[in-house]
Structure 1
Amino acid sequence: MSRVLVTGGLGGSGRWIVDRLADDGHEVMCVDQRFAESERGNVDVRVADLTDRGDVFDLVGAFDPDAVVHWAAIPDPLDHPGGEVFENNIVSTYNVLEAAGRADARVVWASSESALGFPFAAETPAPDYLPIDEEHPLRPEDPYGASKEAGEALARTTVRRHDVPVVSIRPSWIQYPGEYVCLGNEPPAEGVGNFWSYVDVRDIASIVAAALEADVEGHEAVFAVADENYGDRETTELFEEQFGSVPEPCDLSGDDASISNAKAADLLGWEPDHSWREAADEDVDGPTV
């Protein structure tokens, strides 16, 4: 059993991550902006402002974690002023990663597919090639995507400064069993920012668990994406209809996802277990935290 500090642990996907790590036998400190009672003996909930360096260093220093999962953030630029989104996300990421590095703790944190620059672009361009992989250029033009690109720069800085491994997970559009809001979602006139990709929240919890166990050195960024698109059509057909052509080179067949999860399989031994075809109508118990 190891000690894992999870930020944003009471959020939509954070709760599933905390539950998974607790199920795996880890001692978990769940940190969020609000308090909730935990009925689990190996989960301790704490309240902190992650933009306050003193709060972060105090909690991390006292808990002395073996690993830190940084999952807290303002998740998009639409509900808050742009400057607040960027400042909150980048300051909290610096504080958490720096504190983790000083504690000699390995780090897994939530970057985003938004770092590519497509989801919140004013006019979504087609990607340079298909499937998109971790080598695709990052071109964000919104404060959320920019905060994630900058966060990955901080991740590399943490590796160089403290010699701890950092995995930047880039989730696609996270869906919840029985609540797949992506289905029936028509793309806006200017394009679809995630190119019909998604990922189940349970697969997010499993990739975080896999990243904590994997033999990773330095900094690695990996996409977390389901195997297929949610459009229930051939992916190239969707691109033809939306953009008038298919990016080349293109190595896709059928309803293959536009974003590749191959690196996560190779590096972390992770593959998604859930598809919209079954998960959209599933009735499962949610996390206990």
Structure 2
Amino acid sequence: MKLVVTGATGGAGSWIVDHVASEGHDVVGVDLERPPGERENVTFLAADLTDQGQAWEAILSQDPDAVVHLAGIPRMGETTGTETFLTNVESAYHVFEAAGRTGADVVWTSSESLYGMPFAAEPFLPDYLPIDEAHPQRPEDGYGASKLVGEELAAKTVRKHGISIASIRPSWIQYPGEYQAREVAAAFDPETADRSGNFWSYVDVRDVVSIVDAVLHADIDGHEAYHAMAADNYLGRPTADAIETVFGALPEQCDLGGEESAFSTAKARTELGWEPDHTWREAEDETVEGPAFLDG
């Protein structure tokens, strides 16, 4: 396939570029700046995807089979909420519309944050556990709202152009040997801990790569959303017990066993044949070389 990957020098984006290039695909990697190094099977372009002209040229001129859209501001706190919302929505609008005009299917990173809990002023309990893709979406922040709008734009693009778009909703992405989540776990005391809006969920970047790969090889009709989370929490404690202690209650409907993630990945397992392969227990201290083109 010929692929355009946006956010090509970012955390997950660089790993995805490296993987699809290693599979022999012809890749165009787009980001605000080109990386210092090169990669076989990859052409790197610098472009600002909030600018319609640059976004459309970067995609339409390539006539790709698919677009993997990971560019954007990845969380609250890096800039203002307004800038986060506008950047993510504008880039998604331009990328989706360009993909639709050239007939390219899309897989992009939405987020668990669209449910509203992660960046809420006061993180709240979900309606039920485990959380699935049908859970109500109630974001209070610019980032979560940008992903909610992004998925509406995805649905709009599907209706207008007849392409397929998969919205991947990952949890906190971790990198082998650099599991920041475990620093949080080391300091965790359930009696004094702050509420976690993602309920201590996470996902290894390699599992993000594998779910994107699964989507690229799947036959998806229309717009579909899929969770991407590790099977367990990163605390090494029973999930329901941790939630009940920290939040003071559990949803009336709670069907969590042991350290099971608060987010269900059953839909991805059933429809894509995808399951997370990595857990913090083996990945926390694992040595894995990242994408070499980032280092020059």
TM superposition score category, shorter chain reference: over 0.9
The residue type equivalent to 1:66 in the other structure is: D
Matches within 5 A, 1:68-107: 68-107=67-106
Moved more, 5-14 or 180-189: 180-189
Aligned position for 1:40? 39
Aligned length: 288
Partner of residue 271 from structure 1, selected from 275, 278, 292: 275
- 1:122 CA drift (Å): 0.6
Task: Provide the rounded CA distance (Å) in 2 between the counterparts of 1:233 and 1:137.
Answer: 27
| 1:149 corresponds to 2:148 | yes
Shift of residue 189, structure 1, vs aligned partner: 5.3
1:129-148 pair list within 5 angstroms: 129-148=128-147
SS state at 2:253 partner: coil
Match of 1:216 in 2: 220
How is 1:1-289 mapped onto 2 (pairs within 5 angstroms)? 2-185=1-184, 186=188, 190-289=194-293
Q: Which amino acid aligns with 1:237?
A: D
Whether contact under 8 Å (1:29, 1:43) holds in the other structure is yes
CA–CA distance in 2 between the matches of 1:119 and 1:217?
A: 30
Indicate if the aligned counterparts of 2:268 and 2:274 stay in contact, CA closer than 8 A: yes
Question: In 2, distance between residues paired with 1:38 and 1:190?
Answer: 41
CA distance in 1, matches of 2:67, 2:23: 15
Long gaps (5+) in structure 2: none
* Cα offset, 1:244, TM superposition: 1.6
- Matching residue's letter, 2:244: E
Q: CA deviation at 1:75?
A: 1.2
Identity of aligned residues (%): 56
What's the TM-score once normalised by structure 2's chain length? 0.95
Whole-Å separation in 1 of the counterparts to 2:39 and 2:73 = 27
Structure 1: give runs of 5+ residues left out of the alignment: none
SS of the equivalent of 2:114 reads helix
Secondary structure in 2 matching 1:13: helix
Amino acid at match of 1:109: W
For residues 72 and 21 of structure 1, the distance between their equivalents in structure 2, rounded to whole angstroms, comes to 17
Determine the C-alpha separation between the residues in 1 that align with 2:210 and 2:146: 24
Measure the CA separation in 1 of the matches of 2:183 and 2:44: 37
Greater mean alpha carbon deviation, residues 75-84 or residues 129-138: 75-84
Deviations, residues 58-115 of structure 1 (Å, cap 9, x unaligned): 1212111000011001112212111111111100000000000001000000100111
Q: CA deviation at 1:288?
A: 2.5
Q: Letter of the aligned partner of 2:222 in structure 1? A: G
Amino acid at match of 2:292: T
Moved over 6 A (4+): none
